[in-house]
Amino acid sequence: MSITIMINDNQKYIDNNSPELIHTQTFDCQCVDFSEDGKPVSSCFECKGKGTISFTNYPFEMNLANGNFRTLWNSLGLNFDYCGEIDPRTILKAINRTPVSLVERQTTEDNEEGKVHIIHCGIDTEQAGWYFTTLTEICEEAEKREEKVYWG
């Protein structure tokens, strides 16, 4: 599960104003790796037999695992929920008063006997810094467009 943070109507805005900022990434589909003849599987529901999968990446959007979003939001002192909207200025103020190190988390393991073994993936310094930089870019752009920031 993951959460995307984005500006209201971002994709429409980018399509109309700066389509050159849209990046498409293409990957080989797994069905090619697993097929016996090295060809795409025509019945593959991922690629529909094309053999490749494309992802369209819009600027001013970020995608985080639920747990990392919760850590980021809690570190910033923002109210956590799985979806919502917020004034970008509220986030920018929170970023300005929060040290990046507050977002960092060690990777930990719950390995108690009789319980499910869980590995909590951490957030390292580089990743925490990337969250702050990207979130700042999103909020400054939202402020310019006079739009709210949404997540969900």
Nearest approach in angstroms of CB 147 to Zn ion is 37
User: Of 39 and 120, which has the nearer Cβ to Zn ion?
Assistant: 39
Alpha-carbon distances, residue 16 vs 10, 11, 13, 25, 96 (angstroms):
10, 9, 5, 21, 32
Positions touching Zn ion (CB under 5 A) are: 29, 31, 44, 46-47
Nearest approach in angstroms of CB 102 to Zn ion is 42
Q: Are 103 and 132 in contact (CB under 8 A)?
A: yes
User: Of 33 and 146, which has the nearer Cβ to Zn ion?
Assistant: 33
Nearest approach in angstroms of CB 27 to Zn ion is 10
Nearest approach in angstroms of CB 36 to Zn ion is 14
User: Of 52 and 108, which has the nearer Cβ to Zn ion?
Assistant: 52
Count other Cβ atoms within 10 Å, centred on residue 99.
10
User: Of 42 and 101, which has the nearer Cβ to Zn ion?
Assistant: 42
Closest C-alpha to 88, from 15, 8, 12:
8
Closest C-alpha to 5, from 125, 121, 102, 130:
130
